[in-house]
C-alpha cells in the first residue's frame, strides 16, 4: 500500500452486512460447508480474494478460495476429502467431485521464520533465490499479515460467514471503485518475489476492465527478464488463464506492450518486433479474436488450436530453410521443422502431450488438405481432426489469400456438395506434377580417372 494512500486511513475498513451486496446465495454450497466446519471447529475462516472481489463487482465467481488460521495438517484432520498440495505454497484442496475448494493458511512475514517456535506446523519455512524470488513460502501468521502478503489490493478483501462483514486491509474497496489494479507494497520487491505477478496484473486489468496503476506498471518492462526464471510448467498454467478466458486478444496486446510476450511465445514476439504487419501476426490475431468470441458465446475451445496458430509460420519458415539447404524429402523436412519448433517452444511453455498430438494433426492436415486426387479427399474428410485442420486452413486463407484461399473454398464447397457433385469436383481436379530433383553429380574418388 502506498504511504500517501495510507495517510489518515484506518485499516481494516469494515463493511457491515447492510453496506455491501454479498449474500450467501452468491457463494457455492461447498465453499459454505468448508467455512462453517472451520468456524464450528474453533478456527477463523474467510472467503477471500477473487470470490469477494467479483461478487462486489456484480460478477459470478468461478472459484471460491478460503483463508484460515488452521494449518494444512489441522485442515486435513477436519476433512476426509482433503488433499495437501504444493511445496512452494502449502495448500489444502477440499474435493467435492469436480469442485475443489482451495484453503490456505494465513501467510506471515518472512522475519517470522526466525522465530519458528511461535509458528505451528512442520512446513513453517521459506527460501528465496538470488533474484529475490520466493522458492518456498510456508510462513504462517495473522489475518493482518496475510492481507499484506497478498498481491493486489483488490484481492485483500475478506468476507466472514460468522458476522457477514467484509474486511478491507489494503484499500481494495477504493481501488475497485477507481477501477485500478495496484500492488500491495513496493512493486519491484513484489515482482521479484514472484515475477508471475506481472502476468497477473495484465490478466486482472483486461478481465475486470481496469487500468494498471502507474506505480504498479512502471517496473514491469525493466523486470520482464525475471520471467525467464519461471518453470515452463507454470507458464503453461498462466497461458491457459491468459488466453482461454475470453480476453486473449487484449492480453496479447498488453503482453507485447510490456515486453512479456517473448517469455510465452518467443517466435511470434520476435516477428512482432521486426514487422508488426507480418502475416503470422495477422493470423494469430484472427485466431485470438475467434477464440474470444467462442468463449464469450459459451462454446468450447481447445488450447491446442491457438498454440498451433502461434507456431505454424515458424514451422513453415524452418521447413523451407531445410528444403533449400539439405537433400531430404519435403515430408521429412516438414516433420523435422515441426519437431524443432515444438522443442523450442517447450522451453517457454511446457505443452502437455494431450495437446501436442492434436497440434501435430492440425499441422499435418495443412499438407494433407492439398492432396485431393482419387479417394484422398474422402479419407481426409474422415480424419478425426478434419474440422480443426479445415478451420485452421480457413484462417490461413483469410490472411494469405491466393491459392490458400481457393483451397479453403474448395473444401467448403466439397463438404456442402451432393455425392454426385463431389465426384465431379474430384474428376475436374488435376494434381500438380511432382518436380523431380536432378541427381547430384558424384565427385570422382581420389586416384580414379
Whether residue 133 has pLDDT greater than 70 = no
Catalytic site includes residue 65: yes
Whether residue 115 has pLDDT greater than 50 = no
Q: What is the dihedral of CA 361, 367, 369, 371, to 10 degrees?
A: -130
Helix, strand, coil distribution of the chain in percent, nearest 5:
55, 10, 35
- 422-437 residue pLDDT tens: 898 888 876 655 555 5
* Average pLDDT score over residue span 409-420: 93
Residue 396's SS3 state is: helix
- pLDDT for 7: 46
Q: How far is CA 41 from CA 35, 78, 270, in A?
A: 10, 8, 55
- pLDDT for 408: 95
Whether residue 136 has pLDDT greater than 80 = no
Instruction: Enumerate residues 6+ apart whose C-beta is below 8 A from 14.
Output: 165, 166, 167, 168
Q: Which among 54, 124, 146, 151 is annotated as catalytic?
A: 151
The pTM (predicted TM-score) of the whole model is 0.84
- pLDDT for 110: 59
Burial of 142 (0-12, 13-18, 19+ CB in 10 A): middle
- 322-339 residue pLDDT tens: 999 988 899 999 999 999
- The ranges of the chain annotated as CATH 3.30.460.10 are 3-186
- pLDDT for 445: 47
Instruction: Enumerate residues 6+ apart whose C-beta is below 8 A from 182.
Output: 2, 152, 153, 154, 175, 213, 215, 216
* Average pLDDT score over residue span 27-55: 96
- The ranges of the chain annotated as CATH 1.10.3090.10 are 279-428
ω before 12 within 30° of 0 (cis)?
Answer: yes
* Average pLDDT score over residue span 186-208: 96
Ranking 58-72, 119-133, 176-190 by mean pLDDT, the lowest is 119-133
Alpha-helical runs (H) found in 347-445 = 353-368, 376-381, 386-400, 402-416, 419-428
Whether residue 310 has pLDDT greater than 50 = yes
Alpha-carbon distance 102 to 345, whole Å? 31
Catalytic site includes residue 151: yes
Q: Is the dihedral of CA 240, 244, 247, 251 positive or negative?
A: positive
Residue 141's SS3 state is: coil
Please report which confidence band the pLDDT of residue 134 belongs to, taking 50, 70 and 90 as the band edges: very low
Q: How far is CA 214 from CA 9, 147, 180, 187, in A?
A: 21, 22, 9, 10
- Number of Cβ atoms within 10 Å of the Cβ of 356: 16
- 232-251 residue pLDDT tens: 999 999 999 999 999 999 99
pLDDT higher for 137 or 335? 335
- Run of H or E residues at 315: helix 303-325
Find how far residue 36's CA is from the centre of its chain: 33
Q: Which among 63, 211, 253, 278 is annotated as catalytic?
A: 63
In CATH, the architecture of 3-186 is 2-Layer Sandwich (3.30)
- pLDDT for 120: 46
- pLDDT for 375: 85
* Average pLDDT score over residue span 133-156: 82
Specify the CATH superfamily of domain 279-428.
cca-adding enzyme, domain 2 (1.10.3090.10)
Amino acid at each position: 500500500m502506498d504511504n500517501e494512500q495510507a495517510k489518515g486511513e484506518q485499516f481494516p475498513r469494515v463493511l457491515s452486512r447492510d453496506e455491501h451486496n454479498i449474500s450467501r446465495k452468491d457463494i457455492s454450497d461447498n465453499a459454505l460447508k468448508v467455512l462453517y466446519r472451520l468456524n464450528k471447529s474453533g478456527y477463523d475462516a474467510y472467503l477471500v480474494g477473487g470470490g469477494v472481489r467479483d461478487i462486489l463487482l456484480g460478477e459470478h465467481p468461478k472459484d471460491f478460495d478460503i483463508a484460515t488460521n488452521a494449518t494444512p495438517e489441522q485442515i486435513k484432520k477436519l476433512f476426509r476429502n482433503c488433499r495437501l498440495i504444493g511445496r512452494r505454497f502449502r495448500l489444502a484442496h477440499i474435493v467435492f467431485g469436480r469442485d475443489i475448494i482451495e484453503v490456505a493458511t494465513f501467510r506471515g512475514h518472512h522475519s517470522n521464520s526466525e522465530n519458528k517456535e511461535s509458528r505451528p506446523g512442520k512446513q513453517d519455512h521459506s527460501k528465496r533465490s538470488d533474484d529475490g524470488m520466493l522458492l518456498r513460502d510456508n510462513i504462517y501468521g495473522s489475518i493482518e499479515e496475510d492481507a499484506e502478503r497478498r498481491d493486489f489490493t483488490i484481492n485483500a478483501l475478506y468476507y466472514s460467514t460468522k458476522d457477514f462483514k467484509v474486511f478491507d486491509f489494503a484499500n481494495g474497496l477504493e481501488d475497485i471503485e477507481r477501477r485500478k489494479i495496484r500492488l500491495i507494497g513496493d512493486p519491484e520487491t513484489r515482482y521479484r518475489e514472484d515475477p508471475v505477478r506481472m502476468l497477473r496484473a495484465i490478466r486482472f486489468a483486461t478481465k475486470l476492465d481496469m487500468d494498471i496503476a502507474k506505480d504498479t506498471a512502471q517496473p514491469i518492462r525493466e523486470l520482464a527478464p525475471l520471467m525467464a526464471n519461471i518453470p515452463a510448467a507454470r507458464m503453461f498454467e498462466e497461458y491457459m488463464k491468459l488466453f482461454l478466458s475470453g480476453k486473449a486478444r487484449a492480453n496479447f496486446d498488453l503482453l507485447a506492450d510490456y515486453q512479456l510476450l517473448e517469455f510465452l511465445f518467443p517466435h511470434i514476439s520476435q516477428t512482432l518486433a521486426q514487422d508488426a504487419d507480418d502475416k503470422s501476426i495477422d493470423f494469430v490475431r484472427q485466431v485470438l479474436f475467434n477464440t474470444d468470441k467462442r468463449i464469450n458465446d459459451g462454446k468450447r475451445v481447445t488450447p491446442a488450436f491457438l498454440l498451433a496458430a502461434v507456431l505454424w509460420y515458424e514451422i513453415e519458415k524452418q521447413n523451407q530453410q531445410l528444403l533449400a539447404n539439405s537433400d531430404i524429402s519435403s515430408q521429412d523436412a516438414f516433420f523435422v521443422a515441426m519437431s524443432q519448433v515444438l522443442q523450442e517452444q517447450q522451453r517457454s511453455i511446457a505443452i502437455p502431450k494431450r495437446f501436442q498430438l492434436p497440434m501435430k494433426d492440425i499441422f499435418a492436415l495443412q499438407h494433407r488438405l492439398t492432396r485431393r486426387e482419387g479417394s484422398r479427399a474422402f479419407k481426409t474428410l474422415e480424419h478425426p481432426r478434419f474440422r480443426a485442420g479445415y478451420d485452421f486452413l480457413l484462417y490461413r486463407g483469410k490472411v494469405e489469400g491466393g491459392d490458400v484461399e481457393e483451397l479453403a473454398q474448395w473444401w467448403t464447397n466439397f463438404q456442402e456438395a451432393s455425392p454426385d457433385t463431389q465426384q465431379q469436383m474430384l474428376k475436374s481436379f488435376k494434381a500438380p506434377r511432382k518436380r523431380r530433383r536432378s541427381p547430384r553429380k558424384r565427385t570422382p574418388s581420389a586416384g580414379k580417372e
